Amino acid sequence: MKVKHSRNTVACKIGEEIFVHPELHKHPELYKAIIKHEQSHTHSFSFKDFLLDLTNEDLKGHKKEYYKFMLRHPRTFLGLLPLSKVGPYWAVDPTMLIFMSLTVALITLYWKVKL
Ligand SMILES: [Zn+2]
């Protein structure tokens, strides 16, 4: 599996390619955990991928380092958007699309209940 660089994400798998932030290799334990996570993803998007991101077992014990890395490299927040530019690709992240839709729905519901 090819590993390429993108500053717009911590890591992301698109087809057979894994994109990682070029500074990620400076954090070997986090790098290893993230590569393991990305390799577990399927080549398209399935319920397995959704569960993988929801539980995120591979990053257990690395969460603090992961968020610190994101804060140190704020462009990686672009990778949380449902649509982001990663390498030469425009990547759609169905998991984030679902999370964002649910968040918007819950906020709307909360406001409607409050009014
Ligand atoms: Zn994932």
Q: For 12-34, write each residue's pLDDT tens digit.
A: 999 889 999 999 999 999 999 99
| Mean pLDDT of all residues belonging to the chain | 92
Q: Tell how far the Cα of 29 is from the centroid of ligand 1, in angstroms.
A: 17
pLDDT exceeds 80 at position 81: yes
Looking up tokens 């949380």 gives 80
* Confidence label for 88 from pLDDT (cuts 50, 70 and 90): very high
Give the model's pLDDT for residue 44. 81
Q: Where are the beta strands (DSSP E) in the chain?
A: 2-5, 11-14, 17-20, 83-86, 89-92
CA–centroid distance, residue 109 to ligand 1 (Å): 28
pLDDT of residue 5: 97
Residue 107 has pLDDT above 90, yes or no: yes
pLDDT value of residue 95:
85
Question: Residue 11 is part of which domain span?
Answer: 2-114
State how far Cα 57 lies from the chain centre.
14
Contact 108, 48 (CB under 8 A): no
Distance (Å) from CA 110 to ligand 1 centroid: 29
Whole-number Å distance, alpha carbon 111 to ligand 1 midpoint, is 31
CA of 41 from ligand 1 middle (Å) equals 7
The predicted structure's pLDDT at residue 71 = 97
- Domain count of the chain? 1
Centre of ligand 1 from the C-alpha of residue 58, in Å? 10
Are the CB atoms for 96 and 82 separated by under 8 Å?
yes
